[in-house]
């Protein structure tokens, strides 16, 4: 939105029908895929890697997980949305991550990325991957931030991957 700040890609607008920085999103996803490749070369199996992020980072984590050829363990997506969602199929994806576990958390008072974005994202995800593997939690009164309950939830889920 023409503001200088560190980011994964440019945010042109914050409405469901806003134009998106397709080139920037795809380049950022390639950067994350290169990081995954490096971790695999370092001996970490890709199916033990969880992508996660907040806001743009969560959005990029979802997009990367759904477009990579590496089988991943899961995604933690906080206060975010699925970028380029119209580019995905209407039905189930055929990629290696069609059974991926997704934890998506969103505050119901988020003024920057409204809860509607999270709701649209979870509905799209349920049509693309196994709905039984999707956990969507909303937090009353939470704005564009996190809270201790979210941190404890992530910790409890990740404890099984240790």
**Is 79 assigned a catalytic role?**
no
Pairwise CA distance, residues 75 & 91, whole Å: 20
Residue 104 pairs in a beta bridge with 77, 136
**Is 145 assigned a catalytic role?**
no
Catalytic residue among 46, 144, 145, 146: 144
Backbone angles phi, psi at 137, to 5 degrees: -120, 135
Catalytic residue among 55, 61, 79, 106: 55
Q: What is the DSSP letter of 60?
A: H
CA-wise closest residue to 82 among 36, 128, 44? 128
**Is 17 assigned a catalytic role?**
no
Catalytic residue among 61, 79, 106, 110: 110
Residue 87, Cβ neighbours under 10 Å: how many? 14
| Helices (H), ranges, 42-142 | 56-67, 115-128
Q: Which residues have a catalytic role annotated?
A: 55, 110, 144
């Amino acid at each position: 939105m023409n503001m200088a700040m560190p980011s994964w890609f440019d945010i042109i607008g914050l409405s469901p029908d806003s134009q998106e920085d397709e080139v920037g999103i795809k380049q950022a996803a390639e950067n994350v895929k290169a990081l995954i490749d490096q971790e695999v070369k370092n001996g970490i199996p890709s199916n033990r890697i969880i992508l996660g992020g907040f806001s743009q980072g969560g959005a990029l984590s979802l997009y990367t997980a759904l477009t990579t050829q590496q089988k991943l363990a899961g995604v933690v997506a906080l206060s975010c949305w699925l970028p380029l969602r119209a580019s995905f199929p209407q039905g189930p994806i055929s990629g290696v991550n069609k059974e991926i576990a997704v934890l998506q958390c969103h505050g119901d008072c988020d003024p920057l990325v409204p809860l509607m974005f999270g709701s649209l994202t979870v509905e799209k995800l349920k049509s693309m991957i196994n709905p039984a593997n999707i956990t969507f939690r909303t937090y009353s009164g939470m704005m564009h931030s996190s809270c201790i309950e979210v941190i404890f939830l992530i910790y409890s889920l990740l404890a099984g991957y240790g």
